[in-house]
Structure formats: C-alpha cells, structure tokens
Amino acid sequence: MSKSAVKKDAIKVFLTSSKLDPTEGIDFVKCEEAGAVIMFGGTTRNSFEDKKVSDLSYEAHEKLACRSLERIALEALDKFSDDGKDTLIHKVYLAHRLGHVPVKEESVLVVLSSTHRQEGWKAAEWVLEKIKAEAEIWKKENYNDGTSSWKENENSSVHKKN
C-alpha cells in the first residue's frame, strides 16, 4: 500500500445535515500508538454580542469543502511529525454540519489522536483555524427577533505561521 493510501486510511472527513456524534470521532481516531485523543466541538451558543441567537445555518460548496477538509487533515498528518520521521498525529476526524444547527449542538468536530497531548492540542487548534479560514463553508446567525447575519470566516493567523 502506498504512503498516500495509508494516510487516507488515517482520516475521515465529511459534511452532514444530521446531528454530529462526538463518540464516532473518538472511536475512529483511537489507536495503540496514541497517548492522547483530542476532541473539539464547536457548539451553537444562545447569544452574540447583544442579540439572542435561535440557531445557526450553514451552507457549503460541498465538493470543494470536502476536498479542503481532506487536504487539511492530510496536511496535519504531515505538519505534525518529527521532521517527517516520527508520527506525532496518528488519525484525524473532521465533521461539519450543514443546515440548521440549534443552540447547544455541534456544528464542527475536530478529533485527532496523537502520541503526546502537547502535539495533539497544537494540531487540533491548527486544524480548526485552517477549516475556518479555508473550507468553503458559510455561516449565518439567525436571531430570535427574526433577523439574521452572514458571518465571514475569520482571517486566521495560521497562514502567517506557515
């Protein structure tokens, strides 16, 4: 099996309109070599500044967004290795929800396994910032007063660190 095929076996990325299941991500990334499993769930909160949020709505260019998520996951596997010799990140699971996401539900999951927790924390934050900056996914906040606002992806400092 080629190196790229092995790496693709170490990632799972997808978009869905269904509720996200953090346990699925944790189960996917666990492996014997990993001493840490890092999980981040981005959830819908009930307010933004002075407005009450009813839910978030996500739209995506699905084909491009899936490609971007896959590329980000593969980049994380490469970036977080010890000079390309030792694997520090073993598996990556990225899931993003589309459509309406109610308060207290996850819109994005970043789950990965790593040899040590320090590399895992760094990698998970790096992955999340790359998703926010580069994935073709757009968010609209819907407010209780019937108004809404499209949110731009933040310009991340990830690009400056590379």
What percent of the chain stands above pLDDT 90? Answer: 81
Q: Which CATH class is domain 3-152?
A: alpha beta
Rounded mean pLDDT, 54-80: 96
Average pLDDT, the chain: 89
- The distance from CA 33 to its chain's CA centroid, rounded to whole angstroms, is 22
Does pLDDT of 150 surpass 90?
A: yes
What the block records as the tokens of 121 is: 């924390």
- Do the beta carbons of residue 117 and residue 124 sit within 8 Å? no
H-helix segments, the chain = 3-9, 22-29, 62-79, 117-134, 158-161
